[in-house]
A = this chain, B = another copy of it.
Amino acid sequence: MQTNQRQPILTAEELLNNWQGHRGLTRRVIEAFPEKELFTFSIGGMRPFADITKELLAIEAPGLKEIVTGKTNPLVEENNALKTKADLLNAWDEATEQINVYWKQIAPEGFRRVFKLFGQYEAPAINSIFYAIDNEIHHRGQGYVYLRALGIEPPYFWEH
């Protein structure tokens, strides 16, 4: 017997665990950078990993908050308050908690609601959540190359 393609195959809890697992790995990538290179090193004109981290911080918890509240704000990636690796890691850990809290506040129909994230990206919330996770994996892959180019062994990809 074959699978009905409308068969559900993932629960809310599993997707949160998957996301937080990825976020744990990204945290280890941030940690692996030397302080200076985190804010300065780049290849091919791309952003340093600190700026990438700020993008992820700007999208993830704030985006989830918008999905919960239904209120949108413009996306703001710049954050001059985050000046050190410790600042970034603290902000990362705060976002971890916020994501856990907001996640449980999503209404049952909330994952399917079409929503203009940051007043800009119109999609069902579930798609925006997958985008946020995939965007993190994508940019973290970039961080792996930066680390290798710096002669630093990155964390193992799948230990989370």
Contacts and interface: CB of A to CB of B under 8 A. Distances in A.
Interface of A: 1-13, 15-16, 18, 22, 43-46, 104-108, 110-111, 126, 130-131, 134-135, 137-142, 144-151, 157-158
A141 B157 CA distance: 13
Closest 8 pairs (CB-CB, A-B)? A141-B141, A8-B8, A44-B148, A5-B13, A44-B149, A10-B10, A145-B145, A138-B141
Contact of A43 (B6, B12, B145): B145
- Report copies per complex: 2
A85 B150 CA distance: 29
For A2, A108, A145, A150, the residue with the greatest tally of chain B CB atoms inside 10 Å of its CB is: A145
A46 B12 contact: no
